[in-house]
Structure 1
Amino acid sequence: CGVSGSGKTTLVRNILVPALQKLLGEYGGRAGAFDELTGDWRRISAVEVVDQNPMGKSSRSNPVTYLKAYDDIRNLYAAQKSAQLRGYAAKHFSFNTDGGRCPVCQGDGYVTVEMQFMADVHLKCEQCHGKRFMADVLEVEFQGKSISDILELTVDEAMEFFAAHQQKKITDKLRPLADVGLGYIQLGQSSST
């Protein structure tokens, strides 16, 4: 804790992280000046630095795409009998490509109204009602949930749902978020939030 500009980030990046990396035998930059590290640092097995930069390379990135779990989820939906009868492949369950995403909002779930001298306004898409996909794609379900329903689940809810339906590969990919206390975020939540 501390006020903005009090040196919290500098302390972590320039002193604590390099010092711990050196103690762990990892490559770390040269640590700033300090007298000693106290505490039970031997219980630390690795150091990961998380900053406020957006995860992923795209504004469409979200937790489930970043963790590569969405590939498995899309494949799961494409394997459903109702998807196969319609000739749907995994690409139809992507909000990044044409085929299954809503053509009006391009899979965002909202449309942006540009305001000339004020901040842009985001309005729920009237075509898909914020669900990101075309209506016929939403008719394909896995255990009673559409692809849009899955994206609205929190990480914790999704892990419980997929575990109950023997989808270990998906739960294993979601687990790191739950392990670091991010089980409350929605799978389809934009990484910019």
Structure 2
Amino acid sequence: MDETAFPAGAYCHAVSRIIAAGQRMDRFGWVPATAGNISIRLPDGTLAITRSGGHKGLLGPDGVIRVDATGAPCTDGDRPSAETLLHCQIYAHDATAGAVLHGHSVASTVLSMAGGDALVLEGYEVQKVFAGQDTHAARVHVPIFDNDQDIARLSGVVAPHLAGMHAGYIIRGHGVYVWGADMDVALARLEGLEFLLACELERRKLG
């Protein structure tokens, strides 16, 4: 790849947004230890994405790397997360997607392990943060997929459902994936989904 033609300013801006997003997600407890990953699509179609194994609340510029649209690192020796493929899949499916967030909250982990192939959210005002939702009376389906260490196989299971995922999806016992046109939209959707999942968990505690 011709690095001289790459817009370095766009990459630096993306890195700063990813670092800030990691800090925000960490404050809410959504990326414990080395969990989670964060990416932004760059103007040339490559991605800025968190490096494998780093704490998302303690990211520095070296905690973000650049990969191509297939997830291959643009710099020899860089090690992207195995889940980079799930980010690439979202960008390939949705030409408007500009940022993808993956977190591991307590609520998403516990609720997804309770069984079922989806969570249905209804009656919450915050549902309106998701695309296509304009009333609390709508039913928002959040698909749940069984966890699989074979990410290519997992992406194949997720693929047929991407078109209907207005609120993202959950990997069972693992965490959520959400995306948006830019980082601000993606963060709003993540925060909205995590708020709703936390509400659902509290309701179940109440019986």
- TM-score of the superposition, structure 1-length normalised? 0.23
Structure in which a larger fraction of residues adopt helix: 2
- TM-score of the superposition, structure 2-length normalised? 0.22
Structure in which a larger fraction of residues adopt strand: 2
